[in-house]
Chain A
Amino acid sequence: MRLAFTFIFILSVFSSQCQSNSKVFVLVKAMLNGQELASNMEQKINLESNTIKINELKFYLSNIQFFNNQELVWSESNSYHLCDIFSPNSKLLEFNFQKEMNFNKIVFCLGIDSITNVSGAYGGDLDPTKGMYWTWQNGYINLKLEGEINDELTTKNKFSYHLGGYLQPFNAIQKIELNVNNKKSFNLDFNLDKIFKSQIFYSTNKIMSPNYMAVELSKIAASCFRIE
């Protein structure tokens, strides 16, 4: 009798734990003029008078937190995700809440914080082999966007934005807060239109180091995220 009771108790605890285990999935999608950038790197998208082809788009999402109103309900530890738009696996983020929680806001950073920037070598998505680390002047590249416009075979028509920097006044990391319904899965869209309509895009085709323009373009990039 005692044995049967113990068995039932263990089973009920196990099943209640299984039920309360709650996962949230976020799919990161890059959009341009209403079209999703897919794995096909030959994709060309028209925007205003330009034809744009993206060759590389990678960025770090970090320090991901979920809030219910103003209350922090869950935060991810070691929260560093390198999203590569041409690598499908890197675009699906999975968060394990352990138990059911209500939330209506997600908060995260575009880029890597200054403490991590000065704390030596890391593995995983932060490993310097990922191509998101400046070697000539240490620091993570928060966002890498490369491509070309208008099919012309000239270097002038290539653009390359490597946005980063952790030292003031050129600390480029951006904090982003977005309202989200209490959904188990949702899309996080990164709509590039604002970047390609910005004054910076028309004034320079290269940002390769921490500077004023890197900070400004990072702010624009941060405003390109929305929940769908």
Chain B
Amino acid sequence: MKKLVLLFFCFAFFSFQTINSIFFVPKNWPQPLYNFKNNKLDSSKILLGRVLFYDPILSANNTISCANCHSPFSAFTHIDHPLSHGIFDSIGNRNSIALMNLAWQNTFMWDGSINHLDMQALAPLSHPKEMASSIDSLVQKVNKSKVYKNLLYNASGDSLASGEKLLKSMSQFMLTLVSSNSKYDKVKAGKEVFTSQEQNGYYLYKKNCSACHTEPLFSNYEFANNGLKLDASLKDYGRFSVTKNPNDSLTFKIPTLRNIEYTYPYMHDGRFAKLMQVINHYTSGIERNRTLHSKLQNPIVLTEVEKVDLISFLLTLSDREFLFNKKFAFPKEVYFETGNK
């Protein structure tokens, strides 16, 4: 009888934590916002999405894939460049965002202009400085490809592509990009311990940063003005461009701190190359204006030693298992098995 009760509780616990056999909600994380009922995860669909993610046929001249600006080795973002570049080396207006834990978000882009993960890919596909193509063009290219014919058949029982199928498959792959195996996570699970420096950094983080970069996702995914001076050439007012509400002027989506070691440069326009520059901004660089976030009305006070401690904690959010997970990598097995397209 006791065994039965135990079995019941085990079942109840795991059914709460598991969306299906492919997607697990890490312990103590909130339930995802993505509605999996409308796009049930399936390994064949995830593979189709993964192949699309790495395929430059998404761009007008077959040169730029999603991975160009969202490379796995940099936690699925574009490093080195303040503003990401796309087709014909065109420079865009914003720093690409790192892709991870997307199931817990319901707005995308720095200004939240994208309202659903399924529709996210449409923006870079059609942006003249990114891929300069369209979903129609992609559907046509995919329908001519032998590789995709098989992938589509396996994923949907029908080898014909549609916008819905391709977008949902890309979502499926992106939904699997869950980063939850950092040192921080292991400490929380009782498997590792912080050094005293990291511990002090964690204390400083909780005191100064956690209101916006909230655990366990390290963002509350709201929009905030963090006191960055307006770039006169970009004239980027963030969320205001979507809502036209003056209270949203200069507010941008709060990014996660997870894998921050790899996702430089920082901020919507990539103006800071180093983490220390970011921290210095919060201690002495904030520009006060009407929409500045309430938590930043007074500058954060940190000694030089405390700044280093805070950075040492931030580095515990690095998840190398996420970066080098073969399930997220270029799908070479598809090409080796079926030959060239």
Contact = CB atoms under 8 A, between A and B. Distances in A.
B126 A120 contact: no
A137 B167 contact: no
Interface string B72-94: 00000000000000000000000
Contacts of B21: none
B136 interface: yes
B38 interface: yes
Interface in A165-212: 167, 170, 211
A119 B164 contact: no
B115 A128 contact: no
Interface string B153-174: 0000000001111011001000
Interface in B95-117: 106, 113-117
Contact of B116 (A123, A127, A137, A138): A138
Contact of A136 (B127, B162, B167): B127
Contacts of A138: 113-116, 119, 122
B108 to A, nearest CB: 9
B123 interface: yes
Taking residues whose C-beta sits less than 8 angstroms from the other chain, chain A's interface range is 20 to 34
Contacts, number: 75
Given A127-B162, A127-B164, A135-B125, A121 B243 contact: no
Contact of A129 (B106, B117, B118, B135): B135
B122 A133 contact: yes
A167 B243 contact: yes
Nearest to A137: B113
Given A123-B165, A138-B114, 6 more contacts: A128-B163, A129-B162, A135-B122, A138-B119, A170-B244, A211-B244
Nearest to B161: A129
Specify which of A120, A123, A211 lies most central, judged by the most chain B CB atoms within 10 Å of its CB. Answer: A120
Contacts of A117: 115
A118 interface: yes
Contacts of A129: 135-136, 139, 162-163
B35 interface: yes
Contacts of A137: 113-114, 242
Interface in A120-168: 120-123, 127-131, 133, 135-139, 167
Contacts of A130: 163
Contacts of B39: 120-121
Contacts of B242: 137, 167
Interface of A: 117-123, 127-131, 133, 135-139, 167, 170, 211
A23 B162 CA distance: 30
Interface residues of B, number: 30
Contacts of B171: 120-121
A150 to B, nearest CB: 30
A211 B245 CA distance: 12
B164 A123 contact: yes
A123 to B, nearest CB: 4
A129 B165 CA distance: 11
Contacts of A120: 35, 38-39, 116-119, 167-168, 171
A123 B166 CA distance: 11
Contacts of B163: 121, 123, 127-130
B170 to A, nearest CB: 9
Nearest to A131: B136
Interface in B169-218: 171
A118 to B, nearest CB: 5
Nearest to B241: A137
Contacts of B113: 136-138
A121 B115 contact: no
B282 to A, nearest CB: 30
Interface string B122-164: 1101110000001110010000000000000000000000111
- Nearest 8 pairs of A and B residues by beta carbon: A120-B118, A121-B118, A135-B122, A129-B163, A123-B164, A121-B167, A137-B113, A135-B126
Contacts of A211: 244
Contacts of A167: 242-243
B60 to A, nearest CB: 14
B58 to A, nearest CB: 13
A128 B135 contact: yes
Contacts of B123: 135-136
B54 to A, nearest CB: 20
Which of B116, B163, B165 is most buried by chain A, counting CB atoms within 10 A of its CB?
B163
Question: Chain A CB within 10 Å — which of B113, B115, B122, B127 has the most?
Answer: B115
B243 to A, nearest CB: 7
Given A128-B122, A138-B115, A139-B115, A119 B35 contact: yes
A110 B186 CA distance: 53
Identify the interface centre among A117, A135, A167: most chain B CB within 10 Å of its CB. A135
A141 to B, nearest CB: 13
Contacts of A127: 162-164
B306 to A, nearest CB: 41
Nearest to A114: B115
